[in-house]
Amino acid sequence: MSSKARRTALRCAGLLASATLALTACGDGGGSAQNSAAGSGGKSAEGYPVTVASCGKEAKVGAPPQRAVSLDQGSTEILLSLGLADRMVGTGTWTDPVLKNLAKENAKVERLADRYPSLEKVLAKEPDFVSASFLYTVGKGGVADRTKFTELDVPVYVSPTDCAGKDNDGGGDGKRVKTLTMDTVYGEVRDLAKVFDVEERGEKLIAGLKSRVTKAAKDIKAADASDTTVLYWFANSDAPYMAGCCGAPGIITRELGVKNVFDDTREEWPQINWETVADRDPDVLVIGDLTRKSQSAESAAAKIKFLESNPATKNLTAVKKKRYVLLSGQAMNPTIRTVDGIEQVAAGLRKFGLTK
């Protein structure tokens, strides 16, 4: 399919998705039979096509993308960190304000929706590449199944952090069959840098992240905080989502050498009752400070108010001593912001005198 024909197909698909029939606009429009590589928006560039693994499938691009749409905040912030704002035409699915150092670049890219943008809205941007952090985003209940994009010759990349060593077939947020490490996050950075032909930028970003992790964790590990217990609460006060052993909070836990009170479950975010939390009685509460409003107790302020008034939680050691560490939702997801989480939890442990 030629570049012109592909873009015409995307426009028409968007029109059809909204049940707006524009038959005269949806003719062949392809001109010559000149072939372009998948998702290239034009002829193949040197070193292309490039193929990267995409959660059980492949994403193949014929040239560095020029009209990318990122459908999750984690993916968006990686692309922005790689200096690719000028090659992005839309973003979606936000839980937090963008990182401050990326705000200026982010402002250049249209936000299609705070949550999942419609398929019609995404296709209207005529994307030549789509990225997502979670399989759900490009599955049933999200923006659209990724086959909808690949049928229109639009490559879809899904982060390996949501599938490598993870079972997503059992419902909920999945279960970690293998323990997640930062290497998988770095792998996502490398994949996207390769797709966009900015591999040197990717390695520079990874080196910076590794340096920050080493600096944040060095004195904590040296002090041996292995007896310190931590609980990670993402959202919901009625049936709270707490972190299991082996996702992004597990990375934070292991890097700092502390103990997650729910490290006996491999579920990503199991829902655990407050009586069980009281039995585990953590030394520190790491709580998500979310700006979305889709569940109860999203903000840190709402969570703390609940903790200090609920009979089952107000006598917890961490609550009585006000040992709270506030993290963005993104820092509790497997993204480059997980490094922020390591730094902030480390700072909290120092502040609470738990590193001696």
Kindly report, residue by residue over 148-188, the tens digit of the pLDDT: 999 999 999 999 999 999 999 877 889 999 999 999 999 99
CA distance 211 to 207: 6
Q: Do 143 and 227 belong together in one domain?
A: no
Q: End of a domain among 142, 158, 174?
A: 158
Q: Classify residue 60: in a domain, yes or no.
A: yes
Q: Do 243 and 154 belong together in one domain?
A: no
CA distance 19 to 21: 6
Instruction: Give the range of the structural domain holding residue 66, as residue numbers without chain letter.
Output: 33-158
What is the residue whose two structure tokens read 């592909």?
6
Q: Classify residue 113: in a domain, yes or no.
A: yes
Q: Classify residue 50: in a domain, yes or no.
A: yes
Q: Classify residue 299: in a domain, yes or no.
A: yes
Q: What percent of the chain has pLDDT over 70?
A: 87
Give residue 297's pLDDT: 82
Give me the torsion for CA of 20, 21, 25, 26, rounded to 10°.
110
Q: Classify residue 27: in a domain, yes or no.
A: no
CATH of the domain at 307: 3.40.50.1980
Look at 95 and 345; give whichever has higher pLDDT: 345
Q: Do 122 and 45 belong together in one domain?
A: yes
CA distance 194 to 209: 18
Q: Do 152 and 268 belong together in one domain?
A: no
Q: How confident is the model at residue 122 (pLDDT cuts 50, 70, 90)?
A: very high
Q: Classify residue 123: in a domain, yes or no.
A: yes
Q: Could you give phi then psi for residue 170, rounded to 5 degrees?
A: -95, 10
Model confidence, pTM: 0.87
Kindly report, residue by residue over 295-348, the tens digit of the pLDDT: 778 899 999 999 999 999 999 999 999 999 999 999 999 999 999 999 999 999
Q: Could you give phi then psi for residue 181, rounded to 5 degrees?
A: -130, 170
Q: Do 45 and 154 belong together in one domain?
A: yes
302: left (phi over 0), alpha (psi -120 to 50) or beta: alpha
Q: End of a domain among 111, 131, 158?
A: 158
Order of strands, sheet of 129-132, starting from the edge strand that comes earlier in the sequence: 111-113, 88-92, 68-70, 129-132, 156-158
Provide the H-helix boundaries in 196-289: 199-223, 248-256, 274-280
Q: How confident is the model at residue 28 (pLDDT cuts 50, 70, 90)?
A: very low
* SS3 assignment, position 241: strand
Q: Classify residue 186: in a domain, yes or no.
A: no
Domains in the chain, number: 2
Residue 258 and residue 225 in contact, taking contact as beta carbons nearer than 8 Å: yes
Q: Classify residue 11: in a domain, yes or no.
A: no
Q: How confident is the model at residue 40 (pLDDT cuts 50, 70, 90)?
A: very low
> Average pLDDT over the chain, rounded to whole?
88
Q: End of a domain among 116, 132, 158?
A: 158
Residue 260 parent element (H or E): strand 259-260
